[in-house]
Amino acid sequence: MTIDRGARRNKVLEAIVNAHISSAMPVGSNKIARGLDLSSATIRNVMFELERDGYIKQPHTSAGRIPTDLGYRKYVDNLMPFGEAKEDKATAKVRQYLNEKRFFEDVIEETSRALSRMTKYTGIALSPGHKLYFDGTYHMLEQPEFREMEMARDFLMAIEEKEELLQILNEDLETMGVKIRIGRENIFENLRECTIITATYRFKNRVSGNLGVIGPIRMRYEEIVPMVNLFADMTTEILEEIA
């Protein structure tokens, strides 16, 4: 079966993204060729096109390539399999715990903590009173990328000073549903090595705040996007119950 040029480019980019998410390492043509049953020469030609068009880049002197912010954006918008997260035993346990809370602020604070625990990224949440909660900062420092002192310092500064995160979350309130900011789509320099995924929650049919995670650009988008959306819906339901 013949695959058209555009479809082949998408397949190669998707394979590079998935391999990079999994390994955090540059991806070579041989690895992609084995997975797609294409010749290394064909893969190299496609990778040349993808690099030329800004979807992948060559880090330092490595022979492999990694996705750029644009490459990850292409993946999220056009290539990522997207489905709804279903409530499993772990999320059902979180719901039960949150249902025991009697105050809005407690629900929001515990939701950010639960998101961090389940995703292994930094959980964030903005309450109806526009108070910022975050939890699991150390999870970012466990990521290979953030073992570099400069990247870790920038991230910790953004978390500690809070104003930048507050501005981002307040801006995201203007967009119903899920918002994904990848790398340099974040306007603040200290957060340009991160992806921020948020989703709005509601109270009395009005957007009241949002919640989500901060992770590396090399994030498990296929898993995390539906989970953040699930937690936003869960928070909406719980807030309605305690009102």
Q: Which of 19, 50, 79 is the last residue of a domain?
A: 79
Rounded Cα distance between 146 and 86, Å, is 31
Tell me if 63 sits within 8 A of 28, measured CB to CB.
yes
pLDDT of 68: 97
Would strands 132-135 and 194-203 be described as parallel, antiparallel, or unpaired?
A: unpaired
Number of domains in the chain: 2
pLDDT of 103: 87
* CATH number of the CATH domain containing 39: 1.10.10.10
pLDDT of 3: 64
Q: Which residues span the domain enclosing 46? A: 5-79
Q: Which of 35, 60, 79 is the last residue of a domain?
A: 79
Which amino acid is present at 51?
Answer: E
CA distances from 25 to 67, 76, 144, 218 (A): 11, 20, 9, 10
CA distances from 207 to 99, 130, 152, 153, 195 (A): 20, 12, 33, 33, 22
What is the full per-residue pLDDT of the chain (243 aa) written as tens digits?
456 888 999 999 999 999 999 999 999 988 898 888 888 889 999 999 999 999 999 987 667 899 999 999 999 999 998 777 777 888 888 888 887 787 889 899 999 999 999 999 999 999 988 999 999 999 999 999 998 899 999 999 999 888 999 999 999 998 888 999 999 999 999 999 999 999 999 988 889 999 999 999 999 999 999 999 999 999 999 988 876
Tell me if 146 sits within 8 A of 219, measured CB to CB.
no
Rounded Cα distance between 5 and 2, Å, is 9
Q: What is the pTM of this model?
A: 0.92
pLDDT of 133: 95
Q: What residues does 126 pair with on adjacent strands? A: 132, 210
Tell me if 240 sits within 8 A of 107, measured CB to CB.
no
Residue 84 lies in a domain: no
Which amino acid is present at 21?
Answer: I
The first and second tokens of residue 54, run together, are: 């800004």
Q: Which helix (H) or strand (E) holds 91?
A: helix 89-99
- Residue 158's SS3 state is helix
**66 plus 113 within the same structural domain:** no
pLDDT of 1: 41
Tell me if 215 sits within 8 A of 180, measured CB to CB.
no
